[in-house]
Amino acid sequence: MDTADTNKDALELISFRIDDQEFCLDIMAVREIRGWTVATSLPHSPSYVRGVINLRGAVLPILDLKTRLGLGVAEPSARSVIIVVHIRERLVGLLVDAVSEILAAERDNIQPTPNVGCETVNRFVRGIIAMEGRMISWIALDDILPEQQQAEAA
Amino acid sequence: MDPMDAIKATYFQECDELLADLEQGLLTLDASEGDGDTINAVFRAVHSVKGGAGAFGFEALVAFAHVFETALDAMRSGKLEPDGDALKLMLRASDVLADFVQAAKGQGVVDEVRAQGIAEELAALTDHGAGPRVSEPAPASDGGDDDWGFTPLKFEIDEPVSAGGWLLVMTPTSAMYAKGHDAAFFLREIERLSSCETALDLSNLPDLDALSPEESYLSWRLRIPGDVAETTIREVFDFVGDDCSVELTRFGAPAPAAAPPAPPIDFEALLGAVRGEPAAAGAPQVNEAHEERGANGADKVSAKPAALGGATIRVDLERVDRMIDLVGELVINQAMLAQRVGESGLARSSTVAIGLDELEQLTREIQDSVMAIRAQPVKSVFQRMPRLVREIAGSTGKQVRLVMEGEGTEVDKTVIERLSDPITHMLRNAIDHGLESPQDRAAVGKPEEGVVRLAALHRSGRIVIEVTDDGKGIDRQRVREIAIKKGLVASDAALTDEEVDNLIFLPGFSTASTVSNISGRGVGMDVVKRSIQALGGRIAITSEPGKGSVFTLSLPLTLAVLDGMVVRVGEQTLVAPLTTIIETLRPKADEVRRLGPRGAVLAVRGGHVPLIDIGVALGWRTTPIDPTIGVVLLVESEVGGRAALVVDAIQGQRQVVIKSLEANYQRVDAIAAATILGDGRVALILDVDVVLDGRSLDRPDNLLLAQAS
């Protein structure tokens, strides 16, 4: 579970689009949002790892959230954005098509993720928010990075 | 931080230094190189640890330190001979003392039984070594002594006859103290002019009931030998004016009648009085403190001129690290600026370009000096080793003498932190596998005590650590048998001695027939080798049967910057560490020969080295480019031997700041780290060893062939 959302009933979420689906993240996990720049690709990495970019002197890995969620490969354009998020002690950039808005939601109003028989959904969607006739999936960031075992084996 | 915690943290920091001094001093004595000063220094270290511990109420620590101190005191006063056995015991006692300090920190526990045993042995040492002793002052009051703000200075009861100089009688008035001046300051200043002898005159000190805390009763008599101008001495007292009476006479001339005659003070009598009535507080107690400090001061005085030479400050490491990060940014920014200016088409002779060149030089200099700040002597790692060696020697029943050299060799903090594990492992190996048992040594005519030498030195921009033992050397026949049995080499493989020696670095190799609890912890030399390679280091062994082995470990001096060759591979820019590159060349078509279904080799200087397309090796392309249109980097690694790496183009050579990939991501195979280039983009730094090694792993039967090439 994210550390940012302990014991609070009110949530602030930042929502974004990938294709025609809407997703959101806890705003507390978001450090900044920046435009797309070409990433240096990393060898021997999973397909959803686009590579690394320079974030003011730090090396920031960029994950293609679309690929990670099993929705195909993103084709970054000038409009694409990178959402820089904290995942534990790490800073990670998530490539998405566009950021839409900031939402306020009550924790009580979050519906459990319906079981659609999809491992990816179960793993990365922690809940569903229904709002003005839209359905927004709340992304869980915990597992978004590649498995760490790979690092030990290397 | 809580102020008390801050003080405690300082105390523990000091403890670490004191414990190191203690051990160092004992080792010096053990090597029969020490003198009275060394014993004093050792005593002082234990005393200071105890004093602080008393203030914080670490009872167990105080109790043990007290016993230890008593034994050292006997040694200091010559009642106990600093011989081998006593010193061995004291070394073990210093280990236990270190454990107590750790326990006081809240880290680790003390082996009570062991501590008790050593305390008893120490007590026994003084009992028949020194005869019955007057009971020591209680530890608590001792702790109080340390709060006594008396300045340690040399203290002489009998005025020795020496040639020429000044006799200074200094009598501060209460007005001087009221203005916040401290007599100690003047003593220190005078001390700086010439190493003087100081005597405290207590003749005016009234009895305790008549003593007024506001009054000044003390005066000092200083013998200042040598040629010091009168005005120089007077200048010291310039700003106190009449608040401190100063009488200055030349030696030989009798002291003026006005000066207090300063009768010799019988401290032994006073001390006897104190010891007779330990409950008495106040003046006599004060005297005792004087005596104690006076004796200690004798050393401080002699140590002082050296300390004056290089003033040091303590700086929070975080601040230095922050600065290094910032300078790293500066270097990157400077490179970016240079690139932009280059792109703008300004002439190289333009003032902007010239200014930029100067900026580059300056940046480089700043970087070097900042890196120098963070450089530390390897002593901090080395000083943990004597204890380790004692413990391993104890549990293996071998007699070992550790000789350390080059402790002052400096290396960047990033490297220091990583040195400890490999050195520990190499020492363990040297003692456990290298040295023979005392009986075996005696049988072959060697001294029973084995010698293990740990040395650090700088060699061609790297730090080299050598661990040498005078043991039996590597049993090549057995190493070979084991390697064959474990399937690491073919049974008919022809191997040179050197190759056999290096078999011990192969994964899954361990020569000890029984798994000892020292070396055989499932961590073999292969792990040591891997961890060293991960740091850009190398390890090698040379061995001579019957004479011993030498492990040589070399590491870069810093893990913060790297000299690299910037190359292009397809769309990507990569940096190859310059240290691995032997030469670069553009191969001719007839030098490239195909070997096997996919492989190719390059004929270079009569030999053939495998060609590796970097783009393919990193998974960026599936078909290798034609080596004749690209550029070849001829590289060498410890594991994979030589290879020719094919890249598209070389862009230049530069120093790059190493950025961790692990900070925000994780380790990536075949990539050592990342850096940021002048265009602001991230470039990856190639891990040549892994590229070569990884290729060999695909064909395990060729592992040795690759190594041998």
Q: Which amino acid is at B630?
A: G
Mean of pLDDT over chain A: 84
**Cβ contact A58–B671 (<8 Å):** no
Q: B561 is written with which tokens? A: 């910057």
Where b means 16+ CB within 10 Å and e means fewer, A124-134 reads bbbbebeeeee
Handedness of CA B495, B497, B498, B503 (dihedral sign): positive
pLDDT tens per residue, range B562-607 = 888 999 998 889 999 888 888 999 988 888 888 877 788 888 887 8
Compare B495 and B610 and report the one with higher pLDDT. Answer: B610
CB B181 within 8 A of CB B216: no
Estimate to the nearest angstrom the gap between the alpha carbon of B586 and the chain centroid.
46
Count helices and strands (H / E) in chain A: 3, 11
The complex's ipTM? 0.84
Q: Which residue has the higher pLDDT, B289 or B557?
A: B557
Check residues A24 and B58 and name the one with the higher pLDDT: A24
Q: Between vectors from CA B131 to CA B129 and to CA B136, what angle results, nearest 5°?
A: 105
At residue B709, the pLDDT reads 35
- Max Cα distance, chain A (Å): 48
pTM across the whole model: 0.53
Contact B459, B545 (CB under 8 A): no
Q: What is the pLDDT of residue B318?
A: 83
CATH of domain B146-251: 3.30.70
Residue indicated by tokens 């690709």: A41
Place of tokens 């056995």: B85
Q: What is the largest CA-CA distance in chain B?
A: 108
Minimal CA–CA distance to B65: which of B108, B30, B22, B128?
A: B22
Q: Which residues of A touch B684 (CB under 8 A)?
A: 40, 42-43, 52
The DSSP string of B520-541 is -SS--HHHHHHHHHHTT-EEEE
- pLDDT of res. B648: 93
Give the gap in angstroms from C-alpha A114 to the nearest C-alpha of chain B. 31
**Which residues from B are below 8 Å from A58, CB to CB?**
659, 663-664
Write down the pLDDT at residue B225: 74
Share of chain A above pLDDT 90, in %: 27
Could you tell me which residue, A116 or B514, shows the higher pLDDT? Answer: A116
Q: Residue B303: pLDDT above 70? A: no
Measured CA to CA, the distance from residue B379 to residue A43 in angstroms comes to: 39
Residue B426: predicted pLDDT = 86
Please say if the pLDDT value at position B265 is more than 70: no
Q: What CATH class is the domain B561-698? A: mainly beta
Residue in A closest to B614 by C-alpha: A43
Kindly report, residue by residue over B418-437, the tens digit of the pLDDT: 888 888 888 888 888 888 88
The answer to whether A61 contacts B664, with C-beta atoms less than 8 Å apart, is yes
Q: How far B233 CA sits from the closest chain A CA (Å)?
A: 57
Looking at the predicted structure, is the pLDDT value of residue A93 above 90?
Answer: yes
pLDDT at B35 over 60: yes
What CATH number was assigned to the domain covering residues B3-139? 1.20.120.160
Tens of pLDDT, residues B512-571: 544 444 444 445 677 777 778 767 777 888 888 888 889 888 888 777 778 889 999 988
**Higher local confidence (pLDDT), B555 or B161:** B555
User: Tens of pLDDT along B185-199?
Assistant: 777 777 777 777 788
Tokens of B645: 């790496």
Q: Between chains, do A154 and B676 touch, taking CB under 8 Å as contact?
A: no
Sign of the torsion formed by the C-alpha atoms of B280, B281, B283 and B284? positive
Q: Contact B608/B644 with Cβ under 8 angstroms? A: no
Burial bucket for residue B517 (CB in 10 Å: 0-12, 13-18, 19+): exposed
Q: Give mean pLDDT, residues B488-513.
A: 74
pLDDT of residue B275: 56
- Helical residues (DSSP H) of B513-595, grouped into ranges: 525-534
Nearest to B670 among A44, A57, A59 (CB): A44
Span B645-692, pLDDT tens digits: 999 999 888 878 888 888 888 888 888 889 988 778 899 999 887 788
Grouping H, G, I as helix, E, B as strand and the rest as coil, residue A74 is: coil
Distance, CA of B709 to CA of B704 (rounded, Å): 9
Non-local (6+) Cβ contacts of A131 within 8 A are A103, A105
Q: What is the pLDDT of residue B252?
A: 59
Q: What is the pLDDT of residues A12-66, one digit of tens each?
A: 899 998 888 899 999 999 999 999 988 999 988 888 999 999 888 789 999 999 9
**What are the beta bridge partners of residue B402?**
B452
From B467, B465, B359, B314, select the one nearest B403 (Cα to Cα).
B467
Q: What are phi and psi of B482, to 5 degrees?
A: -65, -45
Radius of gyration of chain B (CA): 33
Residues of A with CB under 8 A from a CB of B: 38-45, 51-54, 56-61, 90-92, 145-146, 148, 150-151, 154
Q: Is B329 on the interface with A (CB under 8 A)?
A: yes
pLDDT value, residue B310: 63
On whether any CB of chain A is under 8 Å from the CB of B676, the answer is yes
The 10s digit of each residue's pLDDT in B93-149 is: 888 888 888 888 888 778 888 888 888 888 887 775 444 443 444 444 443 444 444
CB atoms A90 and B664 under 8 Å: yes
Report the distance separating Cα B206 and Cα B530, nearest Å.
73
Q: Please state which CATH number belongs to domain B379-556.
A: 3.30.565.10
* Among B169, B47, B35, CA closest to B97: B47
In 3D space, the residue among A122, A130, A33 whose CA is nearest the CA of residue A70 turns out to be: A122
Tell me if A53 and B659 make a contact (CB, 8 A cut-off): no
Report the pLDDT averaged over residues B463-491: 84
Quick one: what percent of chain B has pLDDT higher than 70? 80
pLDDT at residue A92, rounded to an integer: 94
Residue B6 has pLDDT above 50, yes or no: yes
